[in-house]
Amino acid sequence: MKWLVLLGLVAFSECIVKIPLRRVKTMSNTASGKNMLNNFLKKHPYRLSQISFRGSNLTTHPLMNIWDSVYLGNITIGTPPQEFQVLFDTGSSDLWVPSLLCNSSTCAKHVMFRHHLSSTYRPTNKTFMIFYAVGKIEGVVVRDTVRIGDLVSADQTFGLSIAETGFENTTLDGILGLSYPNTSCFLSKALASVLKGTREGATSQQWLVMYFLARVSGSELVVGAVLEDMLSQRSPSLLLLYSSLDVSYYFLSISMKRYVIACSLGCEAFVDTGTSLIIGPRRLVNKIRKLIGATHWLSKHYVSCSVVNTLPSIIFTINGIDYPVPAQAYILEVSTGNCYLAFGEHGFILSRETWFLGDVFLRVYFSVFDRGNDRIGLARAV
């Protein structure tokens, strides 16, 4: 578990790799999926996913990708390369894609890795199981060459799923984790190390990743630099990651119309690209819903789209710096004239109240994940 603490300026790097991200529809965006989604949310409230490896619990991380949109990018695996559309997730550390040997009907809907066609493929004797809020993934741990743009990691450890449950209505082929190696369930070099190391024809570069998410088009994952044309005239405020063992204070509060509406004594928060909404404790999210005047119906809270322009911004204050999220960002349209509040709730009990700032927040503030210097930066997106 990591904490965010204020720091200074953005680091720059000369090596740049730009990976376009594609925003795709999920269950809530399709007519056939809405009823399935509502039924699913009733039966499966959001919870932290738990990863286990050979019977041992190693780490936890949040993953939500079913409520609004997922941002996917291309990677390739094997020799010759086989292409996959994956979710780049800062809340986890491992890569998995479906195997040709997968016996679940879910896998047949996605691109499956054909290991027998890759000359660089190497099996291992390890297996894995990952539990998510939507279901679980079971598979085997293998090695092969993985490419992200022109970044290359040879003999990279990753997972091949042989059974998938709960991913029937997702559009992603797999998940690529960008978090710290010590949270890896494969007990080996996490794939994120490729981003600081081997680039074809170039020397090693610092681990630096920037996310820019857009509602329509233009979303990008940028490795190795912070692009100034994506910044507004305001300077970015960076947040340093500390171990929770050394931190004895809180940093987040939430306000609206100059009044603190949540976290008056401070809360903990995570910037997470694997989460679609802004997720918070049930009690605090319900308070925000009442202040907005949203009406509950079938697991969502709706408002008329005609009032969106009259609703106030919700301000996330992190170490004294305000990050306003306007109503046009935290209210999403589900159908003509019908909009819903893009806040989700979790019901688990932690020692401190915890929030997950997902895509709804990240469409307003692009994020820089500088693991080489243990910091995260936020700046208003243009």
Lowest mean pLDDT among 34-38, 87-91, 122-126, 350-354: 34-38
| Helical H segments across 212-316, by residue range | 282-292
| Residues of the chain above pLDDT 70, percent | 64
Q: State the catalytic residues.
A: 89, 272
**From residue 264, how far is each of 66, 239, 252, 295, 368 by CA, in Å?**
30, 20, 8, 25, 27
**Where does a domain end: 221, 247, 277?**
221
pLDDT on residue 56 = 29
The size of the chain, in residues, is 382
Does some domain include residue 35?
Answer: no
Structure tokens belonging to residue 280: 């918070």
**H/E element holding 24?**
strand 22-25
Residues 270 and 180 in one domain: no
Confidence of residue 321 (pLDDT cuts 50, 70, 90): confident
Residues 149 and 244 in one domain: no
pLDDT digits (tens, 9 = 90+) for 127-184: 988 877 667 889 999 999 999 887 888 999 999 999 998 887 778 899 888 877 777 7
Question: CA 86, 15, 197, 83 torsion: positive or negative?
Answer: positive
pLDDT digits (tens, 9 = 90+) for 265-303: 888 888 888 888 898 888 899 899 999 999 888 778 899
Which of residues 331 and 346 earns the better pLDDT score? 331
Question: 120, 194 in Cβ contact below 8 A?
Answer: no
Residues 210 and 336 in one domain: no
Distance CA 132, CA 292 (A): 30
Report whether pLDDT(194) > 80.
no
Residues 186 and 146 in one domain: yes
Distance CA 162, CA 269 (A): 34
Cα–Cα nearest to 209, from 23, 71, 16: 16
Does some domain include residue 37?
Answer: no
Tell me how many domains the chain contains: 2
Which of residues 229 and 145 earns the better pLDDT score? 145
pLDDT on residue 200 = 43
**Where does a domain end: 192, 221, 250?**
221
Lowest mean pLDDT among 39-43, 189-193, 238-242: 39-43
Residues 181 and 276 in one domain: no
Report whether pLDDT(207) > 50.
yes
Does some domain include residue 66?
Answer: yes
Residues 104 and 158 in one domain: yes
Distance CA 365, CA 380 (A): 5
User: Scanning the structure block, which residue is given the tokens 């895509």?
Assistant: 359
Domain that holds residue 84: 16-30+45-221
* Range picked from 72-86, 213-227, 338-352 for highest mean pLDDT: 72-86
Distance CA 319, CA 253 (A): 9
Distance CA 138, CA 159 (A): 9
Q: In sequence order, what are the residues at sequence separation of 6 or more whose Cβ sits closer than 8 angstroms to the Cβ of residue 206? A: 11, 13, 196, 224, 370, 372, 373
**Where does a domain end: 221, 248, 273?**
221
**From residue 309, how far is each of 313, 329, 382 by CA, in Å?**
10, 11, 20
